[in-house]
Amino acid sequence: MPNWYYDKKDLRNTPSARDGVDYETERRYRREGARFIMEAGASMSLGHNTVATGVVYFHRFYMFHSFRTFPRFVTASCCLFLAGKVEETPKKCKDIIKTARGLLSDEKFQSFGDDPKEEVMTLERILLQTIKFDLQVEHPYSFLVKYAKCLKGDSAKLQKMVQMAWNFVNDSLSTTVSIQWEPEIIAVALIYLASKLSKFTVVDWVGKKPEHLKWWDMFVQDVTMEILEEICHQVLDLYQPSQAESAPSKSPPQLPPSKASPPMKRANISPITSKNSPNIAVKTPLPPMPPTEVVEANPIPKHITTDNPHYPYPPYPMPPMPPQAHGPPPPYVTMPPVMPPQPPAGWTHYSHPNANKYYPPGPPPGRNPYYPPQ
């Protein structure tokens, strides 16, 4: 299976960065796409696992493609559409587009093009190839509950701490921690952050052993405090306004290359591919349909009919019919020779050799009315 965890240097050398998008702007685009997925999922009453799976697809997708090539809100809608099917909470594509229309402004919704459903359905194939059909994703929610059940202490404070950690997991989806560390480590880090902020000190836990210096040593190994603090800082940075958010929003082109929009409305942008990018065959657009006048100039002949309304006849222009001459057909140039009359063949009687063996000559006795005289 592919490795979906990246270092800091990988996050600063994404296709968007090579395409001229600075690091802070890319982070803002990721936050906007993730929050759109969460808002759309909440509006459609989707579960937390479905929303989290869609956000993880979103972050993985833009490790191979640029925000200038694929608009973030179309990609976010496609990720939520696919996540719903994977997590067995499917939603119709038209319902997701309807929800997106209610959440987005007119300017942002322009990125969906003239046919939003075709945009999302076309992008789904690219999304599946990009994530290499690795659809199953684990999230910190289940690990958070599992670890919290092993902690001992005041039940009220413990409940408050777990609720705070759960909220931190929701907010962490707007960051890139899901593509940097495993969900077990994220759950430990956010429980650690929630315990610090709620002033809940973990002293004892179920299954404590002398070799366990910290409570998380029972669940994960070789996790340093630097890793936990790095995850905590990324989540806490969400609550501080940055210069990128205070500055006026500069979005990528709202009419990107699309398989659904007409060619004259597409931006002249070529996608950036890397050695890690999967090979995605982009189909060339089909030639335009012939004008209606050309088809109507070849009417269906009267002697040709069809009963199938789905396949109108004829499927191609019919050649002109030759002029038909009225009257009897012309005589043959050379007539075949007439055979002379033949005399009728005579009848020849052949007697059966065993004719008198089974029946005696003459009519059988008692049955004269049925047999003519012989």
Q: Which residues of 50-59 are buried (b: 16+ CB within 10 A; e: fewer)?
A: bbbbbbbbbb
How would residue 211 be classed by pLDDT, with cut points 50, 70 and 90? confident
The pLDDT value given to residue 157: 92
Q: What is the pLDDT of residues 145-189, one digit of tens each?
A: 999 999 998 889 999 999 999 999 999 999 999 999 999 999 999
What are the phi and psi torsion angles at 151 (to 5°)? Answer: -85, 145
Phi, psi torsion values for 241, nearest 5 degrees: -65, 135
Predicted local confidence at residue 245, as pLDDT: 53
| Residues 233-254 pLDDT 10s | 999 999 987 654 555 445 554 4
pLDDT band at 204 (very low <50, low <70, confident <90, very high): confident
User: Residues of the chain with pLDDT > 70: what percent?
Assistant: 65
- pLDDT > 50? residue 270: no
User: 138-240 falls under which CATH superfamily?
Assistant: Cyclin-like (1.10.472.10)
Residue type (1 letter), 177 = V
User: Is the bond leading into 360 cis (omega within 30 degrees of zero)?
Assistant: no
Q: Which listed CATH number (1.20.140.10, 1.10.472.10, 1.10.10.10, 1.20.1250.20) goes with 1-137?
A: 1.10.472.10
Please check the confidence at residue 99 and state whether its pLDDT lies above 70: yes
Q: Predicted confidence band at 353 (pLDDT cuts at 50, 70, 90)?
A: low
Q: What is the band of 205 on the pLDDT scale with cuts at 50, 70, 90?
A: confident
For residue 120 the two structure tokens come to: 């999302």
Identify the residue with better confidence: 74 or 285.
74
Dump pLDDT digits (tens) for 318-338: 445 555 545 555 554 555 566
Which residues are 205's β-sheet partners? 151
The pLDDT score that the predictor gives to residue 357 is 53
Which of 47-61, 203-217, 255-269, 352-366 reaches the highest mean pLDDT? 47-61
Q: What is the 3-state secondary structure (H, E, C) of the chain?
A: CCCCCCCHHHHCCCHHHHCCCCHHHHHHHHHHHHHHHHHHHHHCCCCHHHHHHHHHHHHHHCCCCCCCCCCHHHHHHHHHHHHHHHCCCCCCHHHHHHHHHHHCCHHHHHHHCCCHHHHHHHHHHHHHHHCCCCCCCCCHHHHHHHHHHCECCCHHHHHHHHHHHHHHHHHHCCCCHHHCCCHHHHHHHHHHHHHHHCCCCCCCECCCCCCCCCHHHHCCCCCCHHHHHHHHHHHHHHHCCCHHHHCCCCCCCCCCCCCCCCHHHCCCCCCCCCCCCCCCCCCCCCCCCCCHHHHHCCCCCCCCCCCCCCCCCCCCCCCCCCCCCCCCCCCCCCCCCCCCCCCCCCCCCCCCCCHHHHCCCCCCCCCHHHCCCC
- The answer, yes or no, to whether residue 264 has pLDDT greater than 50, is no
- CATH 1.10.472.10 domain position(s) in the chain: 1-137, 138-240
Measured between alpha carbons, how far is 4 from 88 in angstroms, rounded to an integer? 23
pLDDT tens per residue, range 18-54 = 999 999 999 999 999 999 999 999 999 999 999 999 9
For residue 247, what are its two tokens? 């500055």
Q: What is the rounded average pLDDT of the residues 226-236?
A: 95
Least confident of 182-186, 271-275, 357-361: 271-275
Average pLDDT over residues 73-102: 96
59-68 pLDDT, tens digit per residue, is: 999 999 999 9
14 CB neighbour count, 10 Å cutoff: 23
Please state whether the predicted TM-score (pTM) of the whole model is above 0.85: no
Q: What single-letter amino acid sits at 338?
A: V
Name the nearest CA neighbour of 278 among 119, 82, 126, 86: 126
Ramachandran class of 363: left when φ > 0, alpha when ψ lies in -120 to 50, beta otherwise: beta
